[in-house]
Structure 1
Amino acid sequence: MTDTRSDVAVLRLSGELDANTANQLHKLLADLLERPVPRIVVDLNDLKFCDSVGLSAFITAKQVITARGGWLSFAGANQFLSTLLETVGLSKYFAIFPEVDDAIAAAQL
């Protein structure tokens, strides 16, 4: 599910992001990438699990977004996801915020 606040799209994920659900994420991201300058916060509050296929989808999207002058950040990662992002080195590649509002506020600076 997505909602839009000002010019920032918030993508809310829930459940598990893996090989079985990654296609749904690709479709959602493709729609958001149609925006002139994609600015996306991925709300991870309700996401319980993510595997390498899910991470790959985010990396690919970030490359496209960055090339178009936009950004993609994460908010609300649980301990599992925070540890996963740190372990695979993506905490240096993506901005990660405690809450969605924090990510949106940082975008306004």
Structure 2
Amino acid sequence: MQATVTDHRSDVAVLRLTGELDADTAPTLRAKLTELLERPVPRIVVDLTDLKFCDSIGLSAFIVSKEVITARGGWMSFAGANPFLVRLMETVGLSRYFAIFPEVEDAIAAGQL
């Protein structure tokens, strides 16, 4: 898995994930999230457009980050998930804690409200 960060506006980071997120690649995700969580108010859109697979180890990195994000008054949302990932997030209950949007721009716009 590859993880790249781009800033859309000065206060929103887009974390784009490509490939497969599993036990072998989760440390890469955790490292990127750690960097983003150092921001005073983390606002993160996770772009899942090119993520083909995710297991429970990968999902746990998002769950752990949620506490820090909430404590700092920020948010994290997902965008561009394929049908498999949407079902997975709904099945494990992540859709109750994180918003899932069709496009990155939708997620950024919703964060401005």
1:21 is matched with which residue: 10, 21, 25? 25
1:3 to 3, 6, 19: 6
Identity rate of aligned residues, in percent? Answer: 74
> What is the SS of the residue equivalent to 1:37?
coil
Are residue 103 (structure 1) and residue 107 (structure 2) matched?
A: yes
TM score, norm. by length of structure 1: 0.98
d(CA) in 1 for partners of 2:25, 2:91: 22
Find the aligned partners of 1:63 and 1:13 in 2 and give their Cα distance: 21
Deviation at 1:89, TM superposition (A): 1.1
Structure 1 runs of 4+ with >6 Å offset? none
The answer to whether structure 1 residue 81 and structure 2 residue 85 are counterparts is: yes
RMSD over aligned Cα, in angstroms? Answer: 0.6
The 1-side partners of 2:101 and 2:67 are apart by 20
Aligned residue number for residue 46 of structure 1: 50
TM-score normalized by the length of structure 2: 0.95
Structure 1 stretches lacking a partner, 5+ long: none
Query: What code does the residue aligned with 1:91 have?
Result: S
- What residue ranges of structure 2 are gaps of 5+ in the alignment? none
- Once residues 53 and 64 of structure 1 are traced to their aligned partners in structure 2, the CA distance between those partners, rounded to angstroms, is 18
